[in-house]
Chains A and B, each alone.
Chain A
Amino acid sequence: MSDASGTIGRFTAEGGEYPITIDGREHDSDTKNKSFWNVVFNYLPYALDLYFSQGQLKKANVQVSPSSPGSGTVSTKEIYVLANGIGNLEDSDAKSPDYIRNLQTDMKEQSQITDDDLLAIPLYRPTLPVIEAADNAFNKAVDALKWTLESQFLPTRLSLAGGVREKLKHVLSRPVVAMGYSGGFVPLVEGALFAGTQVKSFISLAGIVSGIAAVGQGVVNLIVQAVDKIQRGVLQGLEDLLNRLFEKIPVAGNVIGFVTSIIGFVQGNVLDRAFSIFKDALKEVGRIYPPALPNALPSSTDVLVNLWGTKDILYDFNLVGARNEVSGFTPGGRLDANQNITKQLFNIEIIGASHFDYMKRGASAASSYMPPGETRAERTWNVTVSQFVTRLILNSTSIDSLARFLRGRNDVLFDTARKVWVVNLPVNP
């Protein structure tokens, strides 16, 4: 697959000997914006479905135009769509991880919500080893980073979006409130666009991530490999890897100093310190690149929530945080063709929340449940944050509903300088 800047990916049809190359230049005369996304969207009018798996194009289908929601009864009742991100340790690609199942179970238990009002979309697992959920915070945080970066690999990304589209095409007659977590958010948006879903609101839980894949898939691969080696304390080949990486990306600081320090700390088995230095070296990359999202979201979408926690590893890397504009959404919103004010971006920062706090983790949804390896304080904090996020999702059905919710909470302040809603939840409620 190519655009004006060169080949993005090459795929082999299942069981066939011939590589399939799709060149976007044949369909795009606009030379100003030759991103990967423009290449893909050029195929939307042809309603071309591409199914990728492990780098191979498994199937290509031509479907009904995505702009036609199809026949059937149109309902005004919202359906909540939940797409997971990292930490899916399930052995089946059809099964969502515990935190999604917990939210789903909780929601279904409630008398007003039925199975028909919920759709969980399990997304694929990372290819690199993932540490058990009960492992220490450092390893879990690094896993979050690895999976987020991996989800930006083109084949992975298309594969995830294809999976989302398959699920969403069954709910075209319903308004959707779509929540995507971490690396699951971008595929959720892409899948919704492909399916023609009527999404009212998108809620990103640390999922609007700087698109560092724009710097090149090879570079992302180097970052993921370096992260993996540092996390596992593997010295072999690390120095060469770091040198190759730092040649290709903007680094704020002394490159030689960074490499020497990282190697030194890995040798001394002080892995969290080595990782911290690696993180500092990469901060500039996260700052520069905009999110890897399409230029526009579905026309039905009024609300885009960009939520993150200040203890999220992706925030440390500058990969998530406040944005002035995302896919045409801004904090002040904009006008649509009917003069409505729409496309409002809500930047929401939860002080002290980590990448794993947004939903209740562990084998049970019960607040009293104690996940293995966690302290009571950690569980209490996880429950507190997840309760806020649940309320946020329920109140994100419109601009005024969300504004009333944030305005009414005594633990939420609006930071006018950054245009960010800052959430300061009680540590011991």
Chain B
Amino acid sequence: MRHKSKMIKAIALALLMSPRLSAEEYSNGSLAVPALSDTEKIFFQTGIEREGRELEEKEAYDEALIKYREATNPDVLNHDYDAAVALAGIERIYEKQGRFEQALEQLQWHLARNPAKFEEDRLRLVALIKARDNASSEPIYDHISYLQNKYKNELPPDLGGYTAIVSSHIIYLYDHIADYASGISFVEGILKAYAKIGPGDPYGLGNPYYQVKMAFEADKKDGRESCIAKPGCMGRATKALTQSDYFPW
């Protein structure tokens, strides 16, 4: 019995890893995977999500998308809401690739289930689209103000459990419009807040915020232009966010 169970899992693993199978087949559930127990599914799906994250951090976005889609296969879910984290990965990658409309379309799944939580993501994507279409940074500045006001308890001088999340969005947006001065000033505020907490010195390459600051300064020096009209363009600060083990971006 135990042997049979192992065999089924080996088959399931092989099916999920096979390059011949398309992501669409997984997503629409037309491809059957042998039955797994509820906890097996959790382990299985979490493992695929982790592979997706690793690929995303390496900027292997197409491969990461395949993994995230695999993780939405109904056969590895106990409930439809278990697809949420993988779908958030797909949304994030579309956004990083400058495919804002597709990201927005994908976001509808989250918005239908929890509009309050995901409204800020919708607003950010709308701001990015407006900025691109109107060749203006104003929608981006408006959205940054919205985030700074909504999360004022999580931003300098205070720091909290949401700081890394909200700051990564603000950094990304400043980077997108190439406002390096504001980006540097924003990150400097966070560095000062951490300097107060200590015990280490925040001004060192080990610190993810310091890495972002250095990235902003490098792009400023090089005179890199705004990404508003260049889908998929990414400054050094956004790359620092992506490759960091700290920022969930």
Chain A residues at the B interface, C-beta cutoff of 8 Å: 103, 106-107, 109-113, 330-341, 344-347, 365-367, 383, 387, 390-391, 394-395, 398-401, 403-405, 407-414, 416-417, 419-421, 426, 429
**B42 close to A416 (CB less than 8 A):** no
C-beta contact mask, B223-249 vs A, less than 8 Å → 1, else 0? Answer: 000000000000000000000111110
20 cross-chain CB contacts under 8 A: A107-B39, A110-B40, A111-B6, A111-B13, A330-B159, A333-B159, A335-B194, A336-B200, A338-B200, A340-B206, A365-B39, A367-B38, A394-B43, A400-B247, A410-B84, A414-B161, A416-B153, A416-B154, A416-B162, A429-B81
Q: Does B21 contact A (CB under 8 A)?
A: no
Given contacts A365-B39, A414-B162, is CB(A335)–CB(B88) below 8 Å? no
- Of A332, A345, A387, A417, which is within 8 A of B163 by CB? A332
**A408 close to B87 (CB less than 8 A):** yes
Given contacts A366-B37, A387-B78, A410-B113, is CB(A399)–CB(B153) below 8 Å? no
Residues of A near B37 (CB, < 8 A) are 106, 109, 365-367
- Interface of B, secondary structure class, is helix
In this complex, what residue of A is CB-closest to B193? A332
The 6 closest A-B pairs by CB, nearest first: A332-B159, A106-B39, A408-B88, A339-B206, A339-B204, A335-B200
- Interface of A, secondary structure class, is mixed
Chain B residues at the A interface, C-beta cutoff of 8 Å: 5-6, 9-10, 13, 37-40, 42-44, 46-47, 50, 53, 78-79, 81-82, 84-89, 110, 113-114, 116-118, 150-151, 153-154, 158-165, 193-194, 197-210, 244-248
In this complex, what residue of B is CB-closest to A324? B160
Give the distance in Å from the alpha carbon of A12 to the alpha carbon of B159 in the complex: 49
Residues of B near A394 (CB, < 8 A) are 42-43, 46
- Of A111, A341, A395, A421, which is within 8 A of B46 by CB? A395
**B85 close to A405 (CB less than 8 A):** yes
- Of A334, A395, A399, A407, which is within 8 A of B246 by CB? A399
* Distance from A89 Cβ to chain B, minimum over Cβ atoms (Å): 22
Give the distance in Å from the alpha carbon of A110 to the alpha carbon of B6 in the complex: 9
Residues of B near A407 (CB, < 8 A) are 88, 165, 248
Given contacts A404-B53, A416-B160, is CB(A339)–CB(B248) below 8 Å? no
* Distance from A397 Cβ to chain B, minimum over Cβ atoms (Å): 9
Give the distance in Å from the alpha carbon of A420 to the alpha carbon of B154 in the complex: 12
**B85 close to A413 (CB less than 8 A):** no
Give the distance in Å from the alpha carbon of A106 to the alpha carbon of B55 in the complex: 27
Give the distance in Å from the alpha carbon of A416 to the alpha carbon of B147 in the complex: 13
Residues of A near B53 (CB, < 8 A) are 401, 404
* Distance from A164 Cβ to chain B, minimum over Cβ atoms (Å): 25
Residues of A near B193 (CB, < 8 A) are 332
Residues of B near A331 (CB, < 8 A) are 159-161
Residues of B near A409 (CB, < 8 A) are 81, 84-85
**A399 close to B164 (CB less than 8 A):** yes
Residues of B near A111 (CB, < 8 A) are 6, 9-10, 13
In this complex, what residue of B is CB-closest to A383? B38
- Of B46, B82, B117, B198, which is within 8 A of A413 by CB? B117
**B110 close to A410 (CB less than 8 A):** yes
In this complex, what residue of A is CB-closest to B203? A339
Residues of A near B162 (CB, < 8 A) are 414, 416, 419
* Distance from A346 Cβ to chain B, minimum over Cβ atoms (Å): 6
